[in-house]
Chain A
Amino acid sequence: MIGVLLLPLAIAAALAPLRRWRFVVAPLATTAALVTGISLLRGAIDPLIVVGRILELSIRQQAGWGYCSLLLAATLITSYQLPQERLHFALALLGLSALIASTAAGSLSLGAILLLLGMILCVMTLASGAPGMADLGMRVLILVVVAGMLILLGSWSLERSLLLPDEPGYTGLARTTLALGVLLALGVAPGTLYLGSVQAGATPLAIILCNVLMPAAVLMRSGELVAADVSGQLLATIATLGVWLGAATVVLGNLGALVQRNVGKMLGYVSVADLGVVMLGLSLNSETGMALALVHFGIRGVALLLGGSAAGVLRQSYGHDDIEALEGAFRLAPWSVIGVSAAGLCLAGMPPWGGFVTRLSLLAELAEAYRWMVPWLVLASVGGCVALVRFGLAATASKGETGQREPTWYRVVGLVLTVVLLVTATAPYWVSMLPPMWQQVLFDRMLFPGS
């Protein structure tokens, strides 16, 4: 555990004086994230005790953070040619370390403080220098700090309610503040509007930190809080609110995407809508719903990496990513256009991408409890698809030639990420087709050989 937490910290400290040399900074940061990810996936990690406080990760949490670390490594190496502040590489590693520590913390209050610290470090990467990003970043910071304070207050109240079960006030306070804080931190409605706009000028690194690592940490922290609440009322509150706010997020996100004229914002709103689908799956309060939501969340991470880097390359080649001005972009930047389309379609839940497979199963699961809701959610998804079709038509139009040709390195990156995203669609079938013995070998031995 000490290695997992200290390696990113040590490398982040080393990166600060080296930040002038991008060709040193990016590989070092990538290696740190890669080694952290592999260490987490290699086997069960011994708990660490610091000043009498235990830091421990369960096998599932290790798998989650292993995936997030590998995704971060992929983001760092695939996007390092794009313009971004070099200090953000160090911030990303600091954020990763703080968020892993927040999941590992045994104390509910300390976990909440570390979660807020990690989220603040992630939000700092939004300061990209693109027009309007400073104001947007500040709004997201305010949102995140308020959510973090609610989670901290709720965690403290939950601890008190466990220590003093005869005091009735603490339980109610914990339930209300935690439900509000968790949902606000996840970026479901009504926080949706800010988070959708943020992707307009954000770098792929900031997108992955704020849209994948931060929600992953919040979800894992919520799991700990729900497990600590012996009454089960917290889970019931989050589940009830989660269904309604998840559905609202799907609708608002898709409506938001429909009116966008900018590739980054369009992808931002489609991804917010997709987060609503994850929220719906988690709120179903069933093993199947939970598993599907987690797989969907994983696929979403790959799609965001592909979409974020493709939008970044379009911005670099054309100076901006307004859809109207990208007419004919397919000729100069084919892999960027394919990347945006593939990522967008995956996030919108269209076949043959991975998002379709998990979304279909999730909606089928949802139909058992809320049958009337499903047609409306499917109808709302049309909004995101229309926006993507508009982008596709503009990008493949006959006129154009106003930008620069996309860089050669991105053709390779775009191809690899598109293939990976395509493979995610079929991976669940491959795994389920394997005999049980081989499934056990794959999950128990290959993923966690020491367990």
Chain B
Amino acid sequence: MPTMPTISLGQMATLMVLAIISLVLMLPRDRRVALLGLLGCYVWMATQMRYDIYRPVALVRLGLGALVCLMLYVTAGHVETAARSEGRPVEMNLVFRAMAAVLAGLLAWGIWRRYPLSLVPEGLGLASYWLALDGVIMILMGGEPLAMGLGLMALVCAFEGVYLYGEQGLIATALIGVLDVAIAMAISVLAETGLRERVRTARSEGESA
């Protein structure tokens, strides 16, 4: 007779933390609030890193995560201001996004039980699956560059969590940090360009009307 899988106390705590991060990342319409979820990803991943010799490296990674979020926050501010002034575009409603977040969690749990990442601790493995799925769903649902970019950052954060657990070289860690900043910069540039393009189109449509 099939039995329900048992969940330990540690797993329960991990699930709770990941659920909160996932909901903060996916539910808010305001991208600035969603960035708190991304910051949560970086904090969680930093706590899961294994640095036997260079413990401060985890703090540096956390600092870089905060820098990335700050860069994206500035862009999100511009995007939100423009969205308010021109009337917010139609987005998927709150219930749909909540269902997508729950689906991502259930899917991540199922995949993690079926294919656990044997090289990394349980918490990191589950978090990576969950955040990666959150990222993929956000990319698919995102209608504009910044929303897709936040999904991409969540996906990258999940991948880097697992990668940096296996590869602990300082040069690799430093280059991964540079990579994070470069991706965030690319997202900001593309989102700001998209914004300028929208404003220009709206202005020309207004003039012709």
A residues near B, CB below 8 A?
Answer: 51, 53, 109-110, 113-114, 116-117, 120-121, 123-124, 126-135, 137-139, 141-142, 145-146, 149, 152-153, 156, 160
B-side contacts of A128, CB under 8 Å: 193
Q: Which of B127-155 contact A (CB under 8 A)?
A: 139, 144-145, 148-149, 152, 155
Bound Cα distance A131, B197 (Å):
7
B-side contacts of A133, CB under 8 Å: 193, 197
Q: Which 5 A-B pairs have the closest CB atoms?
A: A134-B194, A127-B193, A138-B145, A113-B175, A134-B193
Q: Are A137 and B159 CB-contacts (below 8 A) given A113-B175, A142-B152?
A: no
Q: Report 18 cross-chain contacts, Cβ distance below 8 Å, ordered by A residue.
A: A53-B171, A109-B167, A110-B171, A113-B176, A120-B179, A120-B183, A124-B186, A130-B197, A134-B193, A134-B194, A134-B195, A135-B145, A137-B190, A138-B187, A139-B148, A141-B152, A141-B183, A156-B163
Nearest-neighbour CB distance to chain B for A395, whole angstroms, equals: 27
Bound Cα distance A124, B192 (Å):
12
- B195 — nearest CB in chain A belongs to which residue? A134
Most buried by A among B166, B182, B187, B192: B182
Q: Are A149 and B156 CB-contacts (below 8 A) given A51-B171, A110-B175, A156-B166?
A: yes
- B135 — nearest CB in chain A belongs to which residue? A142
Bound Cα distance A84, B101 (Å):
40
B191 within 8 A of A: yes
- A141 — nearest CB in chain B belongs to which residue? B186
Residue contact B148 to A138, C-beta cutoff 8 Å:
yes
| Apart from A109-B172, A123-B186, A156-B167, 17 more pairs, CB < 8 Å | A51-B171, A109-B167, A110-B175, A116-B179, A117-B179, A127-B189, A127-B190, A130-B197, A132-B197, A134-B191, A134-B194, A138-B187, A145-B152, A146-B155, A153-B159, A156-B163, A160-B166
Q: Chain B interface secondary structure, helix, strand, loop or mixed? A: helix
- A150 — nearest CB in chain B belongs to which residue? B159
Nearest-neighbour CB distance to chain A for B86, whole angstroms, equals: 16
Nearest-neighbour CB distance to chain A for B180, whole angstroms, equals: 10
Bound Cα distance A316, B179 (Å):
35
